[in-house]
Amino acid sequence: MTSSTQTLKQEIIHSETLYDLQFVGDPQISPDGNKIAYVTTSINDKKKYDSHLFVYDRETKEINQWTHGESRNHSPRWSADGEAIAFISNRSGKNQLYVMPAGGGEAYQATKLKTGAANPVWHPSEDKLLFQTSLEEGEDLHAKEEEDKDEELKPYIVDQLHYKADGKGLLDQKRSHIALYDLQTERIEQLTSGPYDHSDPSWSPDGSTIAYVRPQDDQPGSYMLSDLYIQKLGQQPYRLNEKSGGFGKPVFSPDGKSLSYFGHHYEYDGATLTKVWVTDLNQNTTTCLTESVDLECSDVLISDLHWGNPTPGAVWTEDGKGVYFQASEHGNTGIYHATLAGEVTQVIGGDRHIYGFSYHRATNEAVFGISDPTHIGDLFAVSLEDKQETQLTHSNASFEEQHEIVAPEQFTYQSKDGLEVEGWLIKPVHFDPTKTYPLVLEIHGGPHMMYGNSFMHEFQLLASLGYAVLYTNPRGSQGYGQTFVDACRGDYGGGDYEDVMAGVDAALQNFSFLDEDQLFVTGGSYGGFMTNWIVGKTNRFKAAVTQRSISNWHSFYGVSDIGHFFTKWEIGNHFTEDPEKLWNHSPIKYVDQIETPLLIIHSENDYRCPIEQGEQLFVALKNQNKTTRFVRFPESDHNLSRTGLPNLRVERLNQITNWFKEYK
Average pLDDT of 472-487?
98
> Does the pLDDT value for residue 135 go beyond 80?
yes
Q: What is the pLDDT of residues 408-448, one digit of tens each?
A: 999 999 999 999 999 999 999 999 999 999 999 999 999 99
Per-residue three-class SS string for 448-466? CCECCCCCCHHHHHHHHCC
Give per-residue pLDDT as tens, 76-110.
999 999 999 999 999 999 999 999 999 878 999 99
Residues 6+ apart with CB under 8 A from 152: none
The pLDDT, as a whole number, for residue 6 is 44
Q: Give the model's pLDDT for residue 147.
A: 60
> What's the gap between Cα 559 and its chain centre?
23
What b/e readout covers 141-158, taking b as 16+ CB neighbours within 10 angstroms? eeeebeeeeeeeeeeeee
Q: How far apart are alpha carbons 452 and 306 in whole angstroms?
A: 13
Residue 150 has pLDDT above 80, yes or no: no
pLDDT interval class at 146 (50, 70, 90)? low
Alpha carbon 273 to chain centroid distance?
Answer: 16
What's the pLDDT at 345? 98
Adjacent-strand bridge partners of 353 = 333, 371
Domains and CATH numbers, the chain: 21-147+160-197 (2.120.10.30), 404-562+591-663 (3.40.50.1820)
By 3-state DSSP, what share of the chain in percent is helix, strand and coil, each rounded to 5? 20, 35, 45
Q: What are 164-221's pLDDT values in tens digits?
A: 999 999 998 899 999 999 999 999 999 999 989 999 999 999 999 999 999 987 666 6
Which residue in 207, 53, 187 sits closest to 122, CA to CA?
Answer: 207
Question: CA–CA separation, 40 vs 60, rounded Å?
Answer: 20
Helix (H, G, I), strand (E, B) or coil at 620: helix
Least confidently predicted of 124-133, 299-308, 391-400, 511-520: 299-308
Which of 478, 465, 456, 480 has the alpha carbon at shortest distance from 427? 465
Which pLDDT does position 218 carry in this prediction?
A: 63
Q: How confident is the model at residue 148, as a pLDDT? A: 57
Reduced 3-state DSSP string for 280-348: ECCCCEEEECCCCCCCECCCCECCCCCCCCCCCCCEECCCCCEEEEEEEECCEEEEEEEECCCCEEEEE
pLDDT for the residue 162: 87
User: Crossing angle, helix 495-510 and helix 526-535, to 10 degrees?
Assistant: 80
Nearest Cα residue to 385 out of 482, 317, 326? 317
What separation in angstroms does the CA of 139 have from each of 27, 178, 235, 266, 462? 35, 14, 21, 35, 51
pLDDT tens-place string over residues 11-47: 999 999 999 999 999 999 999 999 999 999 999 999 9
Q: Is the pLDDT of residue 1 over 60?
A: no
Query: What per-residue confidence (pLDDT) applies to 219?
Result: 65
Average pLDDT score over the chain: 95
Residue 7 has pLDDT above 60, yes or no: no
| CA dihedral angle for residue 105, residue 110, residue 113, residue 119, rounded to 10 degrees | -100
506: Cβ–Cβ under 8 A, 6 or more apart, which residues? 411, 413, 423
What is residue 88's three-state secondary structure? strand
Q: What is the pLDDT of residues 277-324, one digit of tens each?
A: 999 999 999 999 999 999 999 999 999 999 888 999 999 999 999 999
Burial class for 128, CB neighbours closer than 10 Å (0-12, 13-18, 19+):
buried
Among candidate residues 541, 511, 551, the one with its CA nearest the CA of residue 424: 511
The whole-number pLDDT of residue 8 equals 47
Share of the chain above pLDDT 70, in %: 97
* DSSP string covering 633-660: ETT--TTHHHHS-HHHHHHHHHHHHHHH
CB neighbour list of residue 304: distance below 8 Å, 6 or more residues apart: 456, 457, 458, 641, 642
How far apart are the C-alpha atoms of 215 and 80, rounded to whole Å? 30
What's the pLDDT score for residue 655?
Answer: 98
* 4 has a pLDDT exceeding 70: no
545 pLDDT higher than 80 = yes
Q: Which residues are catalytic?
A: 525, 638
Q: What confidence score (pLDDT) does residue 486 get?
A: 98
The share of the chain scoring above pLDDT 90, in percent, equals 89
Q: Is the pLDDT of residue 626 over 70?
A: yes
